Structure formats: structure tokens, C-alpha cells
């Protein structure tokens, strides 16, 4: 028999979870109501001509915020990941080149979009990252424009170039694109959304008004997953559909390998069969890419799995090159009519990335972001194409800059082409110390000219190191200057499988 005291204890014990659930539900509803009120107040401070755009963006932010409140953590149950079906990822080498007479009609159905929202601050540069000179004084943007102009001239087509800017990069980009006016390229720009950062404790916006320029810290661009909504809102999606365009090729502006691939375009645009609505270019993982997003089959659909979605006890499994052979290059081919359909039905389901940041004054904020490739699962007929590594040449650090500036590549019509003298198709692994090489200006000052790295496998440089003219690096080279020491590699030095340490003692590796 249960006495009353025990009964109450049991009831009390049962009541806690439902009570805490109710509490959570109430606080969520509270947060939604309060956010709507805060955004209304912010909207009232917007300039009259910007009000419609700001209101549209705030509606997008509210939808994202509501999904964030409802989110029950990772949407991936590790045990339910299925083996990739045989036809899920096609090898690029199996694709055919289009017939010359098909090229004109095919390319006129294409739009090229470059994600141009990032700043060059991590590399010590001011303004958009796309204006950093990467080769022969040409910037990322110059090279992109050259590639598209070459395509348009060679095949007598009109492939438009579209730049998705952020509020951080738009003004500078607009000034720079004027210099391309007389080239055979139509350039369009649109801005991704501008969302308010929210206080981690109160979950409310930290901005007091809509004057973004005078309070940049209070706002953020919400990741490239915002492409779909902003592209539709800009009117460009409708414009290109009316022109009879069918596919958009999207890539990061800092990926110098992401050129228009004629055999992928042929697969999508010269087919009698139903072509996939979403194609993701993937490439083979190496040890340097273990954190990159990968393709999985889940609930019978192909989708992108990012490291942030992986349960902690499976992170090592995720990094396994054996289990997950490919990673996402963020070169995507997406059907324009499918984007229009999903946006109209509000059926685009993209996982939210919660990005925690601490501002200069010590305030903890969160940014709600999404990734453009994560939309894959919402489209019909997803496909991966395993492309050669040459289609993935991102420049995230000065280590990458060293590769693209070197004799590993030559420049042809805005595209980097691997030097035929290179024995391996893989690029060397280069690690330059953050303290002395992270900023572009300092990096450039440490090389009289870029070393010959045609036979290099691995380079690690740490500490105060400079390179003279005509240095040749081969095999594995490790150069480490101890704190307070400086190492000057003399002009004309040839280092092959060497460790250079402390006071310029050169040892066999």
C-alpha cells in the first residue's frame, strides 16, 4: 500500500518534466512575441525608402528565429544514416563533353552566381575578400570576370555573372564592378539579408535602430543559405526564368577552381531524361579535409552532413576518410524553376547553424545562419558528382595564396591550370605559422619571390623566416625558427627533404 506522502512524492516527481516543458513552451512563445515587438520598434527607425526591404528581411528573420526555438538539436540520428546508393555520386570522368553545335543553346540557359559576402579581415585586408590580388595583380573578382567574358566571346553566348554581396561588401563591390562596364559580361548584384545579432541571455536583438553603418556589430549576414530567399526577393530569379534560363551554378568567389564545367552543364541541359534539380560537386577527402561537409543518404534522400550536426561520440567516425570518402566543394548546380517552386511553397528546409560570438565589450551574442548546400534534401533528384581536385582551389589563408601564386599553376583566360611538370595531381600541403605569415602584407614581405614548389609535397614554416630569390623547395621541408631567432633562407637555396631549425642548421629529413 502506498501512503499519501509517497503518493505526493511520486506525483511531484512526475510533474517536474511536464512543468519544465510547459515553462519552455511559455518562454518560447514569450520570446516570439517579444521579438516581434522588438522588430516592430526597429522597423520604425528604418529610412522610408528602405522600409519595404527591411520588413521583408525581418519576416525572414522571424521565420528563422521560430525554427531555432523549435529546434530539438541535431536532426541526424546516426544509426539511420544509410549507405550511399551506387548511382548517388557520379564520377566526373564518366561525363561526356557536349557537341559543339549544342554549346550555344546550352550556355544561354545558364546563370553563374558567386558568393561574395566575405571580408578579407582574417588575412589582414580591408574590404571584400574578392578584391585581394591573387595572381599577376589580378583579384578573385578580376579572374571570375575574365573567365565569364572568355566563355561569352568564345561561344557567342550571354552567360550573366551575379554577385551575392553582404552589407559588408556591397558598397566596395559596386565601385569596383564599374571598371568591367565595357567587357562582354552582364554583371548583376544583390544583397543577402541583414539580420540582427541576438543577446545570448535575453534572445533579443542588441540593435537599437536600423542604422546599420553606425552599429555594424549589431548586425550580420546570415550565411550563404540565405541565397534562395534573397535571390527570389531581388527579382533576379523571376528575370532569369523569363529569359528562359534553367540552371544556376553557385560557388564561393574564393574558390579559384570553380569555373563553368561544360560536361556538367551538358549532363543537366542537354538531356531528354528528367535532370536532377540539385547537383553538388564533391571531391575526394584528404587528411586536410576531414572537417568538410559530406554527402549521406538519409530517409532515402541525398543530403549534406556537416560536422556541427554530428553527435560528439561520432565525430571521429565522421572524419574517417574510409567511411566518408567525399566532401562538399560548395560548387552547386540548381534548377531555377525548382528554387521558385520551393520558395513559393515555403518548403525549403535548411538546418540552422547557431554561431556563438563574443563582441569586443564582452557581450555574448548568437547568429542564426544556414548553408546553401544544406537545401539539397528539399529538392527532387539530388546528385553528387565526384570532380577532380582542380575544381576545389579555395584561398582561405596565406598558405593557400602561396600555392596559387606559385609555379604550380599558369593563368589561362582567368582560370588556373596545373603545371604539366607537376608529377602528382594533388597540391602540396602547406602550413605557414600564424604569428608571422597570417596577414597578406606580412606574408608578401617574407618572400623575395615565391619559391619553386613544383616538386614539393609538404612545407611547414614557423617563426621569423624569410626567403631569398629563386629558392627551390622539394619533398618535405620543415623550417622552424625558435622564439627570438631568425632564419633567412638564402637566394638560390635548394631544400629537398630538409629540416631547418633554430640557427639555420640544415639537416637531412
**CATH code of the domain covering residue 289:** 3.90.550.10
Query: Is residue 396 annotated as a catalytic residue, yes or no?
Result: yes
Question: In the structure grid, which three cell numbers stand for residue 20, read together?
Answer: 519544465
18 in any annotated domain: no
Range(s) of the domain holding residue 324: 78-391
Q: How many CB atoms lie within 10 A of CB 256?
A: 28
pLDDT in tens, 272-297: 778 999 999 999 887 777 778 888 88
Look at residue 125 in the predicted model and tell me its pLDDT.
Answer: 84
Same domain, 346 and 453: no
pLDDT in tens, 296-331: 888 888 988 888 788 888 888 888 877 788 889 999
Of the given ranges (51-55, 120-124, 261-265, 460-464), which has the lowest mean pLDDT? Answer: 120-124
437 in any annotated domain: yes
Same domain, 126 and 262: yes
Residue 380 has pLDDT above 50, yes or no: yes
Same domain, 381 and 476: no
Residues with Cβ within 8 Å of 185's Cβ and at least 6 positions away in sequence, in order, are: 145, 148, 149, 152, 160, 161
3-state helix, strand, coil in the chain (%, to 5): 40, 30, 35
Judge residue 362's burial from the number of C-beta atoms within 10 Å of its C-beta, 0-12 exposed, 13-18 middle, 19 or more buried: exposed
Q: How many angstroms separate the CA atoms of 393 and 402, rounded?
A: 12
Judge residue 425's burial from the number of C-beta atoms within 10 Å of its C-beta, 0-12 exposed, 13-18 middle, 19 or more buried: exposed
Look at residue 76 in the predicted model and tell me its pLDDT.
Answer: 77
Give the domain-ending residue among 391, 413, 429. 391
Q: How many CB atoms lie within 10 A of CB 369?
A: 20
Q: How many angstroms separate the CA atoms of 485 and 218, rounded?
A: 43
Tell me whether residue 83 is annotated as binding.
Answer: no
70 in any annotated domain: no
Same domain, 85 and 187: yes
Look at residue 5 in the predicted model and tell me its pLDDT.
Answer: 43
Position 218 confidence tier, pLDDT thresholds 50, 70, 90: very high
Look at residue 506 in the predicted model and tell me its pLDDT.
Answer: 53
Q: How many angstroms separate the CA atoms of 443 and 123, rounded?
A: 10
Tell me whether residue 129 is annotated as binding.
Answer: yes
56 in any annotated domain: no
Strand 110-116's sheet: what is its strand order? 89-91, 382-386, 278-284, 326-335, 247-252, 110-116, 161-165, 187-191
- Which among 28, 200, 301, 396 is annotated as catalytic? 396
Tell me whether residue 192 is annotated as binding.
Answer: yes
36 in any annotated domain: no
Same domain, 124 and 254: yes
Give the domain-ending residue among 343, 358, 391. 391
Tell me whether residue 102 is annotated as binding.
Answer: no
Q: Which of 116, 393, 408, 151 is nearest to 256 (CA)?
A: 393
Position 6 confidence tier, pLDDT thresholds 50, 70, 90: very low
Residue 25 has pLDDT above 70, yes or no: no
371 in any annotated domain: yes
pLDDT in tens, 347-374: 888 888 888 999 888 899 999 999 999 9
Q: How many CB atoms lie within 10 A of CB 171?
A: 13
143 in any annotated domain: yes
Q: Which of 389, 418, 387 is nearest to 404 (CA)?
A: 418
Same domain, 312 and 179: yes
pLDDT in tens, 219-245: 999 989 999 999 999 999 999 999 999
Same domain, 440 and 481: yes
SS3 of residue 169 by DSSP: coil
37 in any annotated domain: no
Same domain, 384 and 406: no
Tell me whether residue 312 is annotated as binding.
Answer: no
Percent share of the chain, pLDDT over 70: 92
CA distances from 467 to 161, 299, 439 (A): 39, 54, 16
Q: Where are the alpha helices (DSSP H) in 346-413?
A: 398-405
Residues with Cβ within 8 Å of 344's Cβ and at least 6 positions away in sequence, in order, are: none
Average confidence score pLDDT of the chain: 88
pLDDT in tens, 26-74: 667 788 889 999 999 999 998 888 888 999 999 999 999 988 888 755 5
Count: domains in the chain: 2
Tell me whether residue 254 is annotated as binding.
Answer: yes
The CATH number that applies at residue 435 is 2.160.10.10
Same domain, 288 and 423: no
Position 335 confidence tier, pLDDT thresholds 50, 70, 90: very high
Give the domain-ending residue among 324, 357, 391. 391
Amino acid at each position: 500500500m502506498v501512503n499519501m506522502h509517497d503518493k505526493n512524492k511520486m506525483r511531484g516527481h512526475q510533474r517536474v518534466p511536464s512543468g519544465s516543458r510547459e515553462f519552455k513552451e511559455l518562454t518560447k512563445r514569450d520570446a516570439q512575441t517579444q521579438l516581434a515587438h522588438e522588430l516592430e520598434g526597429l522597423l520604425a527607425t528604418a529610412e522610408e525608402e528602405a522600409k519595404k526591404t527591411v520588413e521583408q528581411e525581418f519576416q525572414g528573420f522571424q521565420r528563422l528565429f521560430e525554427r531555432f526555438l523549435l529546434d530539438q538539436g541535431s536532426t541526424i540520428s546516426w544509426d539511420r544514416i544509410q549507405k550511399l546508393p551506387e548511382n548517388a555520386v557520379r564520377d566526373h570522368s564518366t561525363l561526356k563533353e557536349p557537341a559543339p553545335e549544342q554549346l550555344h543553346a546550352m550556355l544561354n540557359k545558364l546563370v553563374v552566381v558567386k558568393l561574395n559576402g566575405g571580408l578579407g579581415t582574417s588575412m589582414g585586408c580591408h574590404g571584400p575578400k574578392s578584391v585581394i590580388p591573387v595572381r599577376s595583380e589580378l583579384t578573385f573578382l578580376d579572374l571570375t570576370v575574365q573567365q565569364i567574358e572568355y566563355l561569352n566571346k568564345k561561344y557567342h553566348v550571354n552567360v550573366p555573372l551575379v554577385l551575392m554581396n553582404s552589407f559588408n561588401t556591397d558598397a566596395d563591390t559596386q565601385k569596383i564592378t564599374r571598371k568591367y562596364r565595357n567587357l562582354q559580361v552582364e554583371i548583376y548584384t544583390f544583397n543577402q539579408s541583414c539580420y540582427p545579432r541576438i543577446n545570448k541571455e535575453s534572445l533579443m536583438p542588441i540593435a537599437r535602430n536600423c542604422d546599420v553603418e553606425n552599429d555594424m556589430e549589431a548586425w550580420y549576414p546570415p550565411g550563404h543559405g540565405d541565397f534562395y530567399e534573397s535571390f527570389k526577393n531581388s527579382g533576379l530569379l523571376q528575370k532569369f526564368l523569363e529569359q528562359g534560363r534553367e540552371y544556376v551554378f553557385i560557388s564561393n568567389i574564393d574558390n579559384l577552381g570553380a569555373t563553368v564545367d561544360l560536361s556538367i552543364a551538358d549532363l543537366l541541359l542537354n538531356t531528354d531524361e528528367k535532370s536532377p534539380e540539385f547537383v553538388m560537386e564533391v571531391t575526394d577527402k584528404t587528411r586536410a579535409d576531414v572537417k568538410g561537409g559530406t554527402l549521406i543518404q538519409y530517409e532515402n534522400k541525398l543530403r549534406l552532413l556537416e560536422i556541427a550536426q554530428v553527435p560528439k561520440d561520432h565525430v571521429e567516425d565522421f572524419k574517417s576518410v574510409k567511411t566518408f570518402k567525399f566532401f562538399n566543394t560548395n560548387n552547386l548546380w540548381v534548377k531555377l524553376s525548382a528554387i521558385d517552386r520551393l520558395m513559393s511553397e515555403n518548403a525549403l528546409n535548411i538546418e540552422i547553424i547557431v554561431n556563438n560570438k563574443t563582441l569586443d565589450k564582452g557581450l555574448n551574442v548568437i547568429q542564426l545562419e544556414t548553408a546553401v548546400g544544406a537545401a539539397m534534401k528539399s529538392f527532387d533528384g539530388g546528385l553528387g558528382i565526384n570532380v577532380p581536385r582542380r575544381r576545389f582551389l579555395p584561398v582561405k589563408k596565406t598558405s593557400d595564396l602561396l600555392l596559387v601564386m606559385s609555379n604550380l599553376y599558369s593563368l589561362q583566360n582567368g582560370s588556373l591550370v596545373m603545371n604539366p611538370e607537376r608529377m602528382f595531381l594533388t597540391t602540396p600541403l602547406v602550413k605557414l605559422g600564424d604569428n608571422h605569415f597570417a596577414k597578406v602584407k606580412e606574408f608578401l614581405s617574407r618572400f623575395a619571390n615565391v619559391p619553386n614548389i613544383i616538386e614539393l609535397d609538404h612545407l611547414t614554416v614557423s617563426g621569423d623566416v624569410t626567403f631569398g630569390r629563386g629558392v627551390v623547395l622539394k619533398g618535405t621541408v620543415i623550417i622552424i625558427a625558435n622564439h627570438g631567432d631568425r632564419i633567412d633562407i638564402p637566394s638560390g637555396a635548394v631544400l629537398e627533404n630538409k629540416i631547418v631549425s633554430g640557427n639555420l642548421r640544415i639537416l637531412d629529413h
